[in-house]
Structure 1
């Protein structure tokens, strides 16, 4: 089994339902959810007038390999109605692979760990909640280090806990 960390975000429709549905679909595709962070609300990366985002981070186990998991994430986004528009635009769901077995993986399709996760409050804060001892496999830095380096936290706020089976 492989240990993975995924980031899930949404800013359209029933945000909590979107997150919950994405978790259900992940489990149907051989991803066993082990830990779920609290739900965090943030402004968009562009600090524009988009609706606020709801974000979580999950730790999971899977038998899938990296590209297979990427395909599952994209399939879930498509199934839930996501259309790929410009970068950082409103979306019904976004499922990103943040880490896979605490190792580096690089192809044309996928880079793990996620290249920008350490700069994003909506990943680092919930990730610290469920993986407090995480050390970045490239920089060897802690999540606490990255939190101190975040330039704009996008007005992040913990808004509650997702009820999960």
Structure 2
């Protein structure tokens, strides 16, 4: 199955952490087939924190959605993630955006990601690598979702 994951970090060496996350995803989840550019982005939700670096990756996986969530959370833990505050600062965050065209609604998992269409920091890198991928609920492409997104937060290519 083709899945899209959003990676984000705003503490520590952000780029090194994202690179390590991509490597661990390739080892444990599946083949990483696409990677967006890195984007420096304003925090969302809780705004009094450092800027993030975000990236969207496409992964071909044989894992079912619950196993995918389990693996991404294990990778977050291995990289030092501690959950203190919703939308708070973090060493690493891995969100499942899409799992092919499937709709998953369980106690622990909602796919497509419920805030995907409201966040420029998600839509800009997603539209870079999958501009024509259609949201299975909203039935709009990544490019169309970005065009109507009301979030005005800054999202710029990160050069280091």
**Quick check: TM above 0.5?**
yes
**Which residue does 2:131 correspond to in 1?**
132
Q: For 2:115 and 2:145, how far apart are their aligned partners in 1?
A: 11
In the alignment, the residues of structure 2 paired with residue 30 and residue 141 of structure 1 have an alpha-carbon distance, to the nearest angstrom, of: 27
Task: State TM-score, norm by structure 2.
Answer: 0.95
Would you identify which runs of 4 or more consecutive aligned residues in structure 1 move more than 3 Å?
A: none
Map of 1:4 onto structure 2 = 3
Alignment length (residue pairs) = 160
Cα distance between partner residues in 1 of 2:47 and 2:129: 29
The residue number in structure 2 matching 1:83 is 82
Equivalence for 1:92: 91
d(CA) in 1 for partners of 2:47, 2:130: 30
Q: Once superposed, what is the RMSD of the aligned Cα atoms?
A: 1.4
Please give the per-residue CA displacement for 1:72-100, whole angstroms capped at 9, x wherever unaligned. Answer: 01001111111101111100000011000
Q: Flag structure 2 segments of 5+ consecutive residues without an equivalent.
A: none
Aligned mates of 1:75, 1:61 — CA distance in 2: 18
Structure 1 contact 38–160 (Cα < 8 Å) conserved: no
1:41 maps to 40
Unmatched 5+ residue regions in structure 1?
none
Tell me if structure 1 keeps the 8 A contact 2:6–2:54.
Answer: yes
Asked if 2 retains the 8 angstrom alpha-carbon contact of 1:82 and 1:92, the reply is yes
Instruction: Tell me the residue number matched to 1:54.
Output: 53
Residue 115 of structure 1 deviates from its aligned partner by: 0.6
| Alpha-carbon separation, structure 1, partners of 2:29 and 2:71 | 9
Normalised to the residue count of structure 1, the TM-score between the two structures is 0.92
After TM superposition, the structure 1 stretch with the greater mean CA deviation from structure 2, 10-19 or 40-49, is 40-49
